[in-house]
Chains A and B, each alone.
Chain A
Amino acid sequence: MSQYDVVVIGGGNAALCAAIEAAETGADVIILESAPKHMRGGNSRHTRNFRCMHQGPLSVLTGTYDETEYYDDLLLVTKGQTDPDLARLAIRESESCLPWMERHGVIFQGSLSGTLSLDRTNAFFLGGGKALVNAYYACAEDLGVTIRYNAEVRHVDLSEGRFTAAILTDGTRIEGRAAVLASGGFQADLDWLTRAWGPEAANFLIRGTPYNRGVVLRDVLDQGAVSVGDPTQCHCVAIDGRAPKFDGGIVTRLDCVPYALVVNRDGARFYDEGEDVWPKRYAIWGRLVARQPDQIAYAITDQKAQGLFMPPVFAPVKADTIEGVAQLLGLSGDSLRQTVAEYNAACRDGTFTPGVLDGLATDGLDPPKTNWARPLDTPPYYGYMLRPGVTFTYLGLKVTERAQVQGAHGLLPNVWAAGEIMAGSILGQGYLAGFGMTIGTVFGRIAGQEAAAYVG
């Protein structure tokens, strides 16, 4: 049995920010990371940038990105389903977080090739999220934080109306005077996902860590903690169907849809591929594919589309005829040929301009393709497989502006939460690139400061 000032449950960005803040006040801190060392960092190891407000150039960020613009960007993706006070707090605090991150070992770089649209709003981590996680673990070690890997918390003891201990799966009891819950969402628990979404969810791929199984979230909710966010919803994008079940991360994204014709298992089209530019549409395609039979779809392009999108990690199938592609994808050659013929017949003359809405739409086709509609007529033809990929779940713990967790009978006096486990308080739906790291950093730091003040 051990006794710590602050027990941090989780080992990703939010957990590390909380642990560092608390340890810097002299508190005796332990991090309980459920993953083994090489998989530490939760979904943070797959991230790449931090969306940051700034009133003028800041580190690698150019220009200005003020609170109003940032908040408007957020409202656009969440369709208003956001807590304005917490959201504005995260946005305002992000500006002071960036220098704090640099002081604690995070190195930033300019936006990566292919992400120029983010160079004013998002600061990229040199080496990506795992490099950030490495820097924070080194920092926490130097501050004397105890770090336990393979330490999965099974139960958080709140029986006295306050946190007394975390109990690990092996029965070890880690006692503490305060707790920070930062153990992520439940997207890697496929049973939970299936209960929430329906049986289709069994075919979903999980883009991030297999260790976010929501055990702590479930346990705390079962003890009466107040939840926010729609339990049936998850952030779900269309990714490469051949990606691994878990942990495929960034490389499994597939950006070909706007320049492709997309069909389901039966060779039929089901949605306008050219509705908008891909960064604004990739998130809805996860749901679209999820509603198709077997939760699978196929994107078909011809030679003309090669080089218009980021290279996929898995080579597409390739054939000189549409039937050939159909065969390689396991589709009916007749249906696909017919779908392509109908689509080609509906294409009209006009100027094709990739990357911007060019208005080159089909004529009389249902569903239409409203931009970038060029006939598929130049072999070789390429085929890509699409499946829904879950990034994170929205269900979370309700917290105050000081990250304090709402229990069954009011605020829990010594429990704070940060990161994905409470992000539902801010993100009701949709997602804004780099905002998860903003929430994790801002509320991780607040949770660490509050916990340290409580025990200090």
Chain B
Amino acid sequence: MLDNSLSDEATRQFQICNSCRYCEGYCDVFPQLFSLPEMSAAQATHLANLCHNCRGCYYACQYAPPHEFDLNLPAVLAELRQDTWERHALPQALARVFHAHGVAVAAALIAGFALLFFAMAALRPEAGEGFYAYLSHNAMVLIFAPAFVLPLLGLALSLRSYWREIGGGWVTWADLKRMGGSVARMKNLSGGAGQGCNFEQGARYSNARRHAHQATLWGFLMCFAATSVATLMHYGLGWEAPYPFWSPPKLLGVPGGILLCLGTGALAWLKLRADRDLGAARVWGGEMAFVVLLFTVSATGLALYAATGTGAVPALLAIHLGAVLAFFVLTPYTKMVHGFYRVAALLKRG
């Protein structure tokens, strides 16, 4: 069910924005808002997912609380986004638990560790090189293929349902180009003039969050590419792991892992300094746990590589793979979905 009180509140605030328009230059939300002949719940949902929570409009707002108009657009749009993600998730109950509760994410992480320790103990191969000495390639595929494919399948169904709700049509090449350019530069966190957004320093602009997010995004994509390339090399070229440093998987994975580590570390640090009431305050714990989970994935991956040839490898391998497993399985139910919904929102023509 769509939470009507949220979209009604967003619509109330949008109406005030529409009569003011001072914030037109900050991001994509306002020009799209001002071009709408009439606001609907579906449009409010779309604009909420387009909002990157840069908070520029809040700090510039002459009607921010305690003004009686009580405008806090970043917060109400964050709540509405959150509602979108939980409403379209399959099943919704899992999304409600993991989005909101960091403890649940931590429990999933521990379950991931446990499963991997157990698998490595139970399925210890007789022979194998590198990591495969501790867990065979087939065992890894057996665990990770469904853990990767099933959540993505569920997410795809959720996105389809979202796309229909907001009335998204066919996507053109121009839409893809616009979206790609926006994501690559994180345009909607630029503040409109490159001065950045308002996050850890309140009313002062800063690019720290934008850069931390870019490091996280690019780091994640490089790590993902490293795994994809390795899969292709394994099945296509018969070139099996372990790979040397001067090989595509390592050249993508090592800098990617470092970027991801730095990016998520910075995001967590910034998040501690920002005002929680300008986001979806009820899911702060879940959001923070997700950032820490991504950090754990990257940090343990780097530690594992650094430990090559030492006795720490089996334990680190279990911990790293456990974290990766938890991350994959939780993808449709954590902040990870924001990227997919955001891309959809950017693809929709205003």
Contact = CB atoms under 8 A, between A and B. Distances in A.
A250 B20 CA distance: 6
A244 B16 CA distance: 13
Q: Which of B22, B34, B56, B193 has the most CB of A within 10 A?
A: B22
A312 B18 CA distance: 8
B57 interface: yes
Interface stretch (A19-27, A122-130, A168-176, A360-368): A122-130
Contact of B62 (A110, A113, A128, A137): A128
A131 B60 contact: yes
B15 A313 contact: yes
Nearest to B35: A113
B63 interface: yes
A174 B25 CA distance: 41
A421 to B, nearest CB: 21
Number of chain B interface residues as a range: 20 to 34
Contacts of B59: 127, 130-131, 134
Interface stretch (B64-72, B169-177, B251-259): B64-72
Number of chain A interface residues as a range: 20 to 34
Interface string A3-47: 000000000000000000000000000000000001000000110
Contact of B26 (A126, A312, A315): A126
B13 to A, nearest CB: 11
Contacts of B192: 107, 109, 126
A123 to B, nearest CB: 12
B64 A38 contact: yes
A244 B68 contact: yes
Contacts of B234: none
Given A45-B62, A129-B62, A114 B16 contact: no
A341 interface: no
B107 to A, nearest CB: 40
Interface string A391-425: 00000000000000000000000000000000000
Interface string B23-62: 1111000010010010000000000000000001101111
Contacts of B22: 48, 112, 125, 127-129, 131, 250
Interface string B188-228: 00011101000000011000000000000000000000000
A288 B57 CA distance: 35
A114 B63 CA distance: 21
Contacts of A107: 191-193, 195
Interface of A: 38, 45-46, 48, 107, 109-110, 112-114, 125-131, 134, 137-138, 244, 247, 249-251, 253, 307, 310-313, 315
Interface of B: 15-16, 18-26, 31, 34, 37, 56-57, 59-64, 66-69, 191-193, 195, 203-204
Which A-B residue pairs are the 8 nearest by beta carbons?
A127-B60, A128-B22, A109-B25, A251-B19, A131-B60, A313-B19, A134-B203, A126-B25
